[in-house]
Amino acid sequence: MLGQPRGNANISEYLRESANRDPQGCALVDGTLRLSWAELDSQVNHFAAGLVRHGLHAGDRVGLLLGNSADYVIAFYGALRAGLCVVPMNPAYTAPEVAVLVSDAGVRLIIASAATSSVATEVADAVHSCEVVRVGTSAWESLFDASSLLAEVSTSGDALALLLFTAGTSGRPKGAMLTHGALRANTESLLSLNSPSAVQAGDVVLAVLPMFHVYGLNTVLNLSVAAGATSVIVDRFDPVDSLRLVTSESITTIAGAPAMYQAWLRVPGLRKAIAGVRLLSSGGAPLPPAVFESFAEFSGKQVFEGYGMTECAPVVATTLVDGHPSAGSVGKTIPGVEVRLVDESGHDVDDGDPGEVWVRGASVFRGYWPDGAGGPDAHGWFRSGDIAYADEDGALHLVDRRREVILVNGFNVYPREIEVVIESMPQVAEVAVLGIPDDVTGEGVLALVVPRGSVTSDDVLSFCSTRLARFKTPSVIRIVESLPHSAAGKVAKGRLRDVYGDGGAEA
């Protein structure tokens, strides 16, 4: 059976299996570079051996500070094949943000690109146990030395494959521990769907979602590799260029985010450009019903929507399960995943009522690094913090997020992380951060700042831009006299919108 190799649960075996089935078939396209399955598998073999020869041992953490590229794919599967744990990092992160991840995870080696090498080097200088290898240098090429190959290593399903950091409500990122078994469970559940198929051999998949995110890494890249589909890799989304690529590369499958579909609606010739596309899906953030309906009208194709989270590797539910996309619905749970909708007292809600989504299944993570805190309870249930209701057909509809997460272009932004940064300014007495509607990104970041001395919104923006990735940096900053507080003295975030609304930009 696909995905169950001989005693080896390592997800890099998906690549080996596809190379054995179709060695000369096209595995990936990256600009002018085209690699067959046999070529990609060979490079991964040599890279894995090079990492071991470099002194890395099973379980060591390797950070990937790269954009989408063939090099990312090789480094990802090579590290896994060597028995290492991969720590994907957003290449837009600043040195302070990367340093937190590297220090917390105990990263031994960072693979960086030309664009991120200065950040990686600054981090390595501060965290002395870590070193950097930049793609394209002699150090990088030495890892592909063909004189040695890695001895066959068997990996258990319980072995840690990924540490994916999500910003915690405390302001410090938390590393979700995903095993090879969890990633396999999610991949194989999606592969079992056939009305329609999520991906299949012969598909050409647009791989534009960032590979440092679990959606782009497991639901796009790994799923495509497991199925034997060709991945057309794009580092940055551009609505016009991406549609040209859809046509020129005969793309058949697109996994996207709501902002992509919204942007494509403004591009002339949309219907003709995607005429040959078999399947379109959306995740990472709720797809607004208006975008769903407009896209169907202007393109002639419906978008299948799904719901998931990093901690579940990631897919929990999708309209692909029953093949019926519907505006506002994220579909039914995928095979092997159970969901409960639970009220505040811990009881299942009545039919049709909203409740917190609890998830159980083989694809659920092991908890947060390093000790498994915050993971599933003794019965295997993980409490997502998201609120949903099930319709009469059993399909889920998301209605709220109990956590204060802000979704900017599908990426989680936690207010506390931004508040910690702004609070470190000597001129700031207090700050509160919340999400606001944004026509382009879905949500934006609003910072309400109470000054201690003389400070402007431009001062705050400048300070944040050197310490936070661009998508986390507040899009609106307001200098205010005070913030509402609860009886316990905490900022009463539930009253912030009543007092200040959603607008009034000063930056």
| Residue where a domain stops, chosen among 268, 298, 328 | 298
| DSSP one-letter string for 80-115 | HHTT-EEEE--TT--HHHHHHHHHHHTEEEEEE-TT
Residue 304 to residue 230: CA distance in whole angstroms: 21
Residues 278, 427 within the same domain: no
Distances (CA, A) of 380 to 110, 249, 332, 348: 34, 43, 20, 16
pTM here is 0.85
Instruction: Tell me the residue range of the domain where 66 lies.
Output: 13-298
| Residue where a domain stops, chosen among 253, 278, 298 | 298
pLDDT of residue 442: 85
Domain of 493: which CATH number? 3.30.300.30
pLDDT of residue 44: 96
Residues 414, 283 within the same domain: no
Residues 411, 285 within the same domain: no
* Domain contains 372: no
| Domains of the chain: total | 2
* Domain contains 365: no
Task: List, as own/partner pairs, every contact residues 23-31 make where C-beta atoms lie below 8 angstroms and the sequence separation is at least 24, other chains included.
Answer: 25/228, 25/230, 26/230, 27/225, 27/230, 27/231, 28/70, 28/73, 28/207, 28/230, 28/231, 28/232, 28/233, 29/230, 29/231, 29/232, 29/233, 29/249, 30/69, 30/70, 30/233
Amino acid in position 126:
A
- pLDDT digit string (tens) for 436-488? 988 888 899 999 999 988 999 999 999 999 999 999 999 999 999 988 876 55
Residues 412, 285 within the same domain: no
Residue 312 to residue 186: CA distance in whole angstroms: 8
pLDDT tens, N- to C-terminus, the chain (507 residues): 444 444 799 999 999 999 999 999 999 999 999 999 999 999 999 999 999 999 999 999 999 999 999 999 999 999 999 999 999 999 999 999 999 999 999 999 999 999 999 999 999 999 988 999 999 999 999 999 877 777 777 899 999 999 999 865 556 789 999 999 999 999 999 999 999 999 999 999 999 999 999 999 999 999 999 999 999 999 999 999 999 999 999 999 999 988 899 899 999 999 999 999 999 999 987 888 888 999 999 999 999 999 999 999 999 999 999 999 999 999 999 999 999 999 989 999 999 998 899 999 999 999 999 999 999 999 999 999 888 999 999 999 988 666 677 889 888 787 888 988 998 999 998 899 999 988 888 899 999 999 988 999 999 999 999 999 999 999 999 999 988 876 555 677 767 877 776 554 444
| Residue where a domain stops, chosen among 298, 324, 340 | 298
Residues 275, 415 within the same domain: no
Closest CA to 184 of 62, 356, 4: 4
pLDDT of residue 5: 44
* Domain contains 331: no
pLDDT of residue 354: 87
* Domain contains 454: yes
Strands (E) across 173-303 are located at: 173-179, 204-207, 230-233, 253-256, 279-282
Domain of 225: which CATH number? 3.40.50.12780
Cβ atoms of 276 and 252 within 8 Å: the answer is yes
